[in-house]
């Protein structure tokens, strides 16, 4: 009877040991996964900060003005280039003829 009890206790001991090893393996695996996720979160935060900085730089008035001048060949409006249109019927023919002559 003692031999059977010893064998039963040995089997129980081996089962507990295997469960312990499996649990430790899963805990290590989950810890590694958490570390990877935290590293990825830090990397995404850095990337988000960089994108916000880029967005603020791209939206500045000076950058837009420089891009418009350089890439689109746009120039600031001057008084000489401004055309005024009136709603008077007498002046409408003069305004339209003036606009056609400037083109």
pLDDT digits (tens, 9 = 90+) for 48-72: 999 999 988 888 888 888 888 888 8
Spatial separation of the C-alpha atoms in residues 96 and 103, rounded to whole Å: 11
Least confident interval from 8-17, 26-35, 55-64: 55-64
Mean pLDDT computed over every residue of the chain: 86
Query: Mean per-residue pLDDT for 23-38?
Result: 98
Question: Above 80 in pLDDT, residue 21?
Answer: yes
Q: Which of 97, 73, 95 is nearest to 83 (CA)?
A: 95
- DSSP assignment of 16-64, as one string? HHHHHHHHHHHHHHHHHHHHHHHHHHHHHHHHHHHHHHHHHHHT-HHHH
Domain borders along the chain are 2-76
Query: The whole model's pTM is what?
Result: 0.51
Nearest to 76 by CA among 61, 55, 57, 58: 61
Quote the percentage of the chain above a pLDDT of 70.
85
Q: What is the pLDDT of residue 15?
A: 97
C-alpha closest to that of 11 among 3, 24, 25: 3
State the pLDDT at residue 49.
96
């Amino acid at each position: 009877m003692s031999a059977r009890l010893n064998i039963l206790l040995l089997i129980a001991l081996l089962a507990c040991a295997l469960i312990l090893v499996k649990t430790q393996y899963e805990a290590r695996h989950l810890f590694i996964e958490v570390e990877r996720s935290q590293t990825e979160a830090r990397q995404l935060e850095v990337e988000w900060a960089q994108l916000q900085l880029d967005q603020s730089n791209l939206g500045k008035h000076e950058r837009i003005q420089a891009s418009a001048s350089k890439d689109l060949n746009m120039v600031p409006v001057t008084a000489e280039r401004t055309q005024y249109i009136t709603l008077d019927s007498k002046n409408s023919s003069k305004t339209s003829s003036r606009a056609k002559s400037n083109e």
